[in-house]
A = this chain, B = another copy of it.
Amino acid sequence: MIDATQVRALLAARRDNHSLPQPFYTDEAFHRFDIDAVFYNEWLFACNSCELRTPGDYLTLEIGTSSVVVVRGQDGEIHAFFNTCRHRGSRICTQSAGHAHRLVCPYHQWVYDLDGTLLHARQMPAGFDRDAHALRPVHVEIVCSMVYICLADTPPDIARFRETVTPYIAPHQPARTKVAFEMTLIEDANWKLVIENNRECYHCAGNHPELLATLVEFALPDDPEGSADFQRLMDDKARAWDRYGLAHRPADGGNEFRCIRLPFHRGAVSFTEDGSPACGKLLGDLVEPDLGSVRMFRVPNNWNHFLADHIIHFRILPLSATRTALRTTWLVHEDAVEGVDYDIDKMTAVWRATNDQDARLAANNQLGVASIGYTPGPYAPSEFMLRNFTNWYADKLTGYLDAHDDDLARARRTIGLRVSNG
């Protein structure tokens, strides 16, 4: 187990507005600490609620070494549980997604209701306490149809996030969607390098020709690098969006989240290679195809684009200090018809290419930071969101250490195990 003193010393030695000291990116013990301090301790994006349309629909995801099942109950609500039987610990749902009337452990057929209640445990003796053996729950919050889960006993507050982003996203009516395409890419890089890669477009010009056909590189309406042409485009679009009553100005998410509506290049309306629409049927009740995209990012594992004609959710989950799974889902109006309203290849081509390019860049970054020749380097002004991210990360770790110092010391003295270990 990691020594809290080590982490604190490195956080203290960290230079603001610079990339992190090496072990945060490369060391497996530091990585396990990330899992404890961040991924077992924060709201994590799981999926869009439309992926669990009917009671009994479920999906599973792996947070660190912990499998979680997210399921729509008979009550229509979405629940989440540790996907571990209370008998001898077998996984219950062995598929990544499926449908089940009840959750039945494949090992000894203990039967759980979709709300986690243990309904039946055959052969157990008189006096066995079923109530004490319900599935262990995981917290769930739905924000604009996005399902967030938290494995901590006491989750952080998510109310400010919900209130702030809802006005941007709600007009796109994400509840009335379906998944058109989903893919998972394994990146050979620490999750923080994947986030840092995503949080800046400084690298776009040299690496993302398909993306830059439509995306403007600038992250803010008043970007100092922005050209006069961009300024005019921005002003035109802002006037139009104000007219439609659509939120677009940068939200105040601090270091925790970001939400903004930004335009495509003049003439483009969607993330396609030529900027033409990706789906003929617009989302919800929208009638105007050119709404730019709402770009919403939330620490530690989620970014999204909400366009007039489709939504893209990006979800990362760390696999080790040097590997990260990126899941990308493209969603369209629930009544859109494949082959009629949209073509999957056309809709996904830009971000499939961009994801591949980013995976190469992040893997290359990982290899380079592992060197004894690596020194944390300065962020460019256009990388201001990386400063936000690394400051958030340092605060998160510090907060965890402050809250757990006693536990960590005791654990080291007696058990030497992860303090959150049940």
Residues of A at the B interface (CB closer than 8 Å) are 3, 5-6, 9-10, 13, 19, 22-23, 26, 40, 64-68, 81-92, 94, 106-109, 121, 123-125, 128, 133, 136, 138, 151, 196, 202-203, 205-207, 225, 361, 364-365, 367-382, 414-418, 420-422
Contact, CB under 8 Å: A90 / B6: no
Partner of A377, one of B13, B86, B375: B86
> Is the pair B65, A107 in contact by a Cβ cutoff of 8 Å?
no
Q: List 9 A-B contacts (CB under 8 A).
A: A10-B417, A22-B421, A40-B372, A89-B368, A94-B364, A109-B205, A151-B373, A372-B418, A375-B422
By the criterion CB–CB under 8 Å, are A382 and B416 in contact?
A: no
Max chain B CB contacts within 10 Å: which of A82, A85, A374? A374
Residue in B closest to A87 when the chains form the complex, CB atoms: B377
Q: Which residues of B contact A67 (CB under 8 A)?
A: 367-368, 371
* Leading 8 A-B pairs by shortest Cβ distance: A82-B373, A89-B369, A66-B371, A65-B370, A91-B368, A6-B416, A84-B368, A89-B368
Q: Which partner residue on chain B sits nearest A25 by CB separation?
A: B89
The residue on B at minimum CB distance from A205 is B109
In the assembled complex, the Cα of A19 lies from the Cα of B128 at a distance in Å of: 16
Copies of this protein in the assembly total 3
Interchain nearest-CB distance for A400 vs B (Å): 15
Chain B neighbourhood of A13, CB < 8 A: 415
In whole angstroms, how far apart are the Cα atoms of A416 and B207 in the complex?
A: 37
Whether A196 contacts B421 by the Cβ 8 Å rule is no
A401 → chain B closest CB, angstroms: 15
Write out the residue numbers on chain B whose beta carbons fall within 8 Å of the beta carbon of A88: 19, 196, 365, 369, 377, 379
Once the chains are docked, how many angstroms separate the CA of A417 from the CA of B27? 10
Whole-angstrom CA separation of A81 from B374 in the bound complex: 11
Are A90 and B368 in touch, CB under 8 angstroms? yes
